[in-house]
Each structure stands twice: as structure tokens, then as C-alpha cells.
């Protein structure tokens, strides 16, 4: 669990713009790229937070474990997402590549140094942390109070927003991952999807079970009784 995956590419300098830092300063921070194969760990919970990561391609899950193996996935990180940004010195989740994944990484310390002098960067760090907080807050409502059907509906709508290509949601994660994200079992997730299929809310593409078409977003949104 604490084995750091080694990568093959060399560091190369870049600007912070890719991190959503629209700072004008041309500050150079050490940037490099890593690749992780499907299923490998990127960092472990309680490891020192040396780097911040941005997904170039692929998908990442970040989760916590109980001692008996129960798992709660806190978030999925998709192309463009930044993760591993901690204020303290330790990571609070374990992260793994769901599929083969390429990430860009930034030394945490260099980011902090820049933030110290550049108010714009500091504000962006706060803004990113706030987005994460907001997501966690919404997810608490889902985990604490929603039914299985509502959870799956909310999940599909979230993924629809984040990775739809041509109306089709190509899910990178397994039923088990979805279940551990939604606080359910994989069987319950599967049953909920079948039920939504029966209801005519969604369709499946081809023979692969990972591609989903949303046919009735309104009905989905009604299942996911917001507010």
C-alpha cells in the first residue's frame, strides 16, 4: 500500500496555467509527468504529501479504508482534475489509477512558495479546496439520506457533466468502485441500473456494460431529489 510507483519520464518545466493558476507571473515550478498502470497506487493515506497531481489522461479513485477492508471512495479524478492537494503535510486518501493513467505533478513546496508571494495563486488554492469541500458536503447528503436509486441517479448525472462524449457516458470505473463511492454494494448498483433501464431512463451502448446513454435527464434529476 505504501509502495510508490516509479515512472519513466523526466521532469520538464512548465507554467502554472495548466493548474488553473492564471497568474501572470512566469514563476517556474518543477513539473514532471508520471504514468501509472491500471490498478496501481499513486500515493497512500498518511504518506507525506510531496506532490500535487493533475490527471492528463485516465482516471483515479481516492479512498479511505477501515481496518476490516470496508472502503469509501471520496472522489473520482478525471482528465483535467487536480488531486493530492493537502494543506497539512500528509495525504488523507489513498489514490489508485483506475485505468492506465498519465499525470502531471508539481512539487508541493514550490506551490506553497509561490502562493506566499502571489495572492492570485493563493486565492486559487483556496478556491480549489472550497470546490472539494462543496463536493464532500453534497456527498454527505447523498450518503446519509438518499436511497439507492437516488444515489445512482446522482452519480450518473455527475458523470454526465464530467465525461460525456457524444451523449454517451463511458465509465472508466467498475461497479464495485461505483458502489464504494455511493455507500452501496455492487449488486445494489447493478440492480439500480437495471431498474433505470427498465424505466426507460437510460440505455446501454454495444455490448460493453461501461457505456451508458442517458435518455431522460429530467427523470433522473427527479429521482435525485435535490434541495
Asked whether position 186 contacts a second copy by CB under 8 A, the answer is no
- Binding a second copy (rule: CB under 8 A), the pick from 87, 89, 109, 209 is 87
Asked whether position 19 contacts a second copy by CB under 8 A, the answer is no
> Whose Cβ is closer to a second copy: residue 34's or residue 125's?
125
Radius of gyration of the chain (CA): 19
- Report which DSSP code applies to 21: -
Residue 76's DSSP bridge partners are 61
CB of 72 to DNA, least distance (A): 12
Nearest to 32 by CA among 52, 16, 13: 13
Asked whether position 56 contacts DNA by CB under 7 A, the answer is no
Q: Which three cell numbers stand for residue 104?
A: 502531471
Render 31-48 in DSSP notation, one character per residue.
Answer: EEEEEE-TT-EEE-TTSB
Binding track, positions 119-158, relative to DNA; x by CB under 7 A: ----------------------------xxx---------
Cβ(23)–Cβ(48) below 8 Å: no
CB of 81 to a second copy, least distance (A): 16
Residue 31 phi/psi, 5-degree rounding, is -130, 140
CB of 58 to DNA, least distance (A): 15
Nearest to 40 by CA among 77, 86, 3, 90: 3
Binding site for a second copy (CB under 8 A): 45, 64-68, 70-72, 74, 86-88, 92-93, 116-117, 119, 122-123, 125-127, 129-130, 132-134, 136-141, 143-146, 180, 182-183, 225-227
Amino acid at each position: 500500500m505504501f509502495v510508490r510507483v516509479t515512472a519513466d519520464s523526466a521532469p520538464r518545466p512548465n507554467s502554472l496555467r495548466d493548474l488553473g493558476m492564471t497568474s501572470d507571473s512566469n514563476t517556474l515550478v518543477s513539473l514532471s509527468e508520471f504514468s501509472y498502470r491500471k490498478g496501481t497506487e499513486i500515493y497512500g493515506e498518511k504518506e507525506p504529501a510531496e506532490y500535487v497531481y493533475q490527471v492528463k489522461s485516465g482516471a483515479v479513485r481516492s479512498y479511505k479504508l477501515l481496518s476490516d477492508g470496508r472502503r469509501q471512495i471520496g472522489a473520482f479524478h478525471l482528465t483535467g482534475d487536480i488531486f493530492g492537494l493537502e494543506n497539512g503535510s500528509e495525504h488523507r486518501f489513498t489514490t489508485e489509477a483506475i485505468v492506465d493513467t498519465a499525470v502531471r505533478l508539481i512539487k508541493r513546496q514550490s506551490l506553497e512558495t509561490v502562493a506566499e508571494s502571489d495572492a492570485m495563486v493563493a486565492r486559487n488554492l483556496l478556491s480549489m479546496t472550497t470546490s472539494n469541500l462543496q463536493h464532500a458536503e453534497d456527498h454527505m447528503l447523498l450518503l446519509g439520506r438518499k436511497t439507492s436509486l437516488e444515489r445512482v441517479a446522482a452519480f450518473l448525472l455527475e458523470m454526465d457533466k464530467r465525461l460525456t462524449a457524444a451523449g454517451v457516458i463511458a465509465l472508466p470505473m467498475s461497479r464495485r468502485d461505483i458502489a464504494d463511492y455511493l455507500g452501496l454494494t455492487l449488486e445494489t448498483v447493478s440492480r439500480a441500473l437495471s431498474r433505470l433501464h427498465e424505466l426507460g431512463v437510460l440505455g446501454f451502448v454495444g455490448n460493453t456494460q461501461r457505456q451508458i446513454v442517458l435518455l431522460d435527464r429530467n427523470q433522473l434529476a427527479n429521482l435525485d431529489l435535490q434541495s
